[in-house]
């Protein structure tokens, strides 16, 4: 026993720790030590108590610690349009309801308020990092930093005019300026986010490929979401969207292809060979009747697949626990193989794979010494979670976001006993009501 305990900021004692790396590991009665926002150590609790002298301690004796969940695809500000219009297909939903509302109401204030609401919802549900695509990303950045969350902000590009920008060049210029002004923020990273093959031109895609390569930025793009998208691409470009992206130089390890619902075996092999990442958004794909992405085949083929909620306008929850469970169940139902997506693989999708897609795997995605302290405690003391044979199975199949008790982002406590730290829920709800009244007219 050391006579001189090592100083530390925070010591979290937990009944279980699921570090995600190494795969499948479940550590009993372990502690995580945080110092300077970094995971200093993961070790048995009895050893932690003799080795470290923390300033603050948490005894979570019925809880499991997991890495903060990474929501690999959302449009956070659209939380203000939660339930605005349901039960229609993607193109009708976009053309008749969502785009008209956005063209009328999208503003820096709307994005700031909507993103802050989304951050609060996500953190309460164990999400510590999200990949965002929306107008006014600098306003989203304000909200993310106020919430103390981690995000990859999209430098959004579409051809059409919006309250944010006039044309593709204007979107790119504004987004790149936003990145320049915020690039020193530790909690922020950036993607170029061309909306979709049907809303961005060949010229713009070529410019985006060049910028992404020069600046080493991920590209965040909806791709092969619906059969309509694939058919339309054939009509206008005489090729499928993935072939078109290949021709335009977009396929590669920088690309995060969102949805990839309608991909054939050749395309799966191509995505794997090019190192393209996929963001699987099962709830949104089901709700918009887009289909079911062949996740098991993509994983078998070697594609890195992460998990996302998409927006609260098409989900209608920013609930990664719901996506975890649904992804694992759908993969089984869709293939007839119960082993198609085991619990460990689903949890990897929601953590490490998302981090990898964002180029953040050296910082987040697993509870590993040296990584940033993005940690979620899930309380297994709840009646509906008794008994527990296998904590890993419980995280995926039994627990929900309502069981998240504590969340740390970058070593800072953001959710404490299910309550959000530093934000006023009443104010968030008042803002949501204000925007609903405005948007509803």
Question: Interface residues with Zn ion (CB under 5 A)?
Answer: 310
DSSP symbols for 39-102: EEEEEEHHHHHHHEEEEEEEEEEEEEEEEPEEEEEE-GGGGGGTTSS-SS-HHHIIIIIIHHHH
* Pair of tokens at residue 366: 């697993």
Hey, is 352 helix, strand or coil?
helix
Q: Which is nearer to Zn ion, 267 or 310 (CB)?
A: 310
Which sign does the torsion angle of CA 105, 166, 179, 215 carry? positive
- Residue of 331, 344, 229, 218 whose CA lies nearest to 280: 331
Output the smallest distance, CB 148 to Zn ion, in A.
25
Q: Which is nearer to Zn ion, 94 or 415 (CB)?
A: 94
Residue number closest to Zn ion, CB atom: 310
Question: In 3D, which of 78, 220, 222, 195 has the Cα closest to residue 140?
Answer: 78
Nearer to Zn ion, 121 or 310 (CB): 310
Whole-number minimum distance, CB 154 to Zn ion, in Å? 10
Torsion angle, alpha carbons of 417, 74, 226, 155, to 10: -170
Please give the structure tokens belonging to residue 212: 């992404």
Q: In this structure, what token pair is assigned to residue 437?
A: 């009244």
- Rank residues 34 and 281 by Cβ distance to Zn ion and give the closer one: 281
Of 220 and 394, the one with the shorter C-beta distance to Zn ion is 220
Token pair of 331, please?
Answer: 């993969």
Classified as helix, coil or strand, 384 is helix
At how many degrees (to 10) do helices 137-147 and 168-182 cross? 30
Which CB sits closer to Zn ion, 144 or 375?
A: 144
What are the residue ranges of helices labelled H in 238-303?
241-247, 265-274, 282-287, 295-300
Name the β-bridge partners of 378: 64, 404
Residue closer to Zn ion, measured from CB, 74 or 353: 74
Question: In this structure, are strands 375-379 and 404-409 parallel, antiparallel, or unpaired?
Answer: antiparallel
CB of 310 to Zn ion, least distance (A): 5
| Comparison of 310 and 410: residue with beta carbon closer to Zn ion | 310
Residues 78, 82, 83: CA angle, nearest 5 degrees: 140
Residue placing its CB nearer to Zn ion in the complex, 196 or 395: 196
Least distance to Zn ion, CB of residue 281, Å: 7
User: In angstroms, what is the minimal distance from the CB of 294 to Zn ion?
Assistant: 19
Rounded to whole angstroms, the Cα distance separating 91 from 389 reads: 45
Task: Please give the Cα distance from 356 to 312 (Å, whole number).
Answer: 24
Which is nearer to Zn ion, 281 or 377 (by Cβ)? 281
Residue 266: exposure state from Cβ atoms within 10 A (0-12, 13-18, ≥19): exposed
Name the minimum Å distance from CB 40 to Zn ion: 37
Q: Are 57 and 8 in contact (CB under 8 A)?
A: no
Task: Name the minimum Å distance from CB 239 to Zn ion.
Answer: 23
Q: Angle at the Cα of 368 (from 367 to 369), degrees rounded to 5?
A: 130
Smallest separation (angstroms) from Zn ion to the CB of 425? 26
Pick 310 or 412: Cβ nearer Zn ion? 310
**Min CB(102)–Zn ion separation in Å:** 13
Q: How far apart are CA 187 and CA 177, in angstroms?
A: 18
């Amino acid at each position: 026993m050391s006579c001189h305990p090592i100083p530390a900021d925070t010591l979290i004692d937990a009944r279980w720790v699921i570090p995600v790396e190494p795969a499948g590991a479940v550590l009993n009665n372990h502690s995580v030590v945080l110092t300077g926002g970094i995971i200093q150590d993961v070790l048995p609790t009895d050893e932690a108590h003799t080795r470290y002298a923390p300033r603050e301690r948490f005894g979570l004796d019925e809880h499991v610690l997991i890495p903060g969940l990474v929501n690999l695809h959302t449009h956070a500000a659209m939380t203000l349009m939660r339930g605005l219009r349901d039960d229609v297909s993607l193109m009708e939903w976009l053309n008749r309801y969502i785009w008209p509302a956005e063209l009328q109401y999208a503003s820096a204030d709307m994005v700031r308020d909507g993103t802050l609401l989304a951050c609060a919802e996500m953190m309460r549900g164990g999400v510590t990092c999200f990949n965002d695509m929306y107008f006014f990303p600098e306003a989203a950045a304000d909200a993310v930093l106020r919430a103390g969350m981690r995000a990859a902000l999209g430098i959004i590009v579409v051809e059409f005019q919006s309250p944010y920008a006039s044309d593709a060049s204007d979107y790119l210029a504004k987004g790149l300026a936003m990145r320049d002004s915020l690039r020193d923020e530790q909690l922020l990273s950036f993607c170029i986010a061309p909306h979709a093959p049907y809303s961005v031109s060949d010229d713009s895609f070529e410019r985006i490929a060049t910028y992404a390569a020069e600046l080493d930025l991920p590209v965040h793009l909806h791709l092969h979401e619906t059969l309509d998208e694939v058919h339309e691409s054939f009509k206008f470009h005489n090729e499928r969207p993935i072939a078109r992206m290949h021709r335009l130089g977009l396929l590669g390890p920088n690309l995060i292809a969102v949805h990839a619902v309608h991909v054939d075996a050749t395309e799966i092999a191509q995505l794997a060979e090019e190192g393209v990442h996929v963001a699987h958004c099962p709830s949104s794909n089901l709700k918009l009747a887009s289909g079911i992405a062949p996740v098991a085949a993509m994983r078998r083929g070697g594609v890195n697949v992460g998990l996302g909620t998409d927006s609260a306008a098409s989900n209608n929850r920013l609930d990664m626990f719901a996506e975890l469970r649904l992804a694992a169940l759908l993969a089984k139902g869709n293939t007839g193989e119960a082993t198609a997506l085991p619990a460990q693989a689903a949890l990897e999708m929601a953590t490490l794979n998302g981090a990898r897609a964002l180029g953040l795997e050296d910082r987040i995605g697993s509870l590993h010494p040296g990584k940033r302290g993005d940690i979620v405690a899930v309380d297994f003391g709840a009646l509906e979670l008794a008994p527990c044979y296998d904590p890993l199975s419980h995280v995926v199949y039994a627990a929900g976001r309502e069981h998240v008790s504590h969340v740390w982002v970058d070593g800072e406590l953001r959710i404490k006993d299910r309550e959000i730290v530093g934000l006023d829920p009443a104010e968030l709800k008042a803002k949501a009501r204000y925007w609903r009244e405005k948007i509803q007219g």
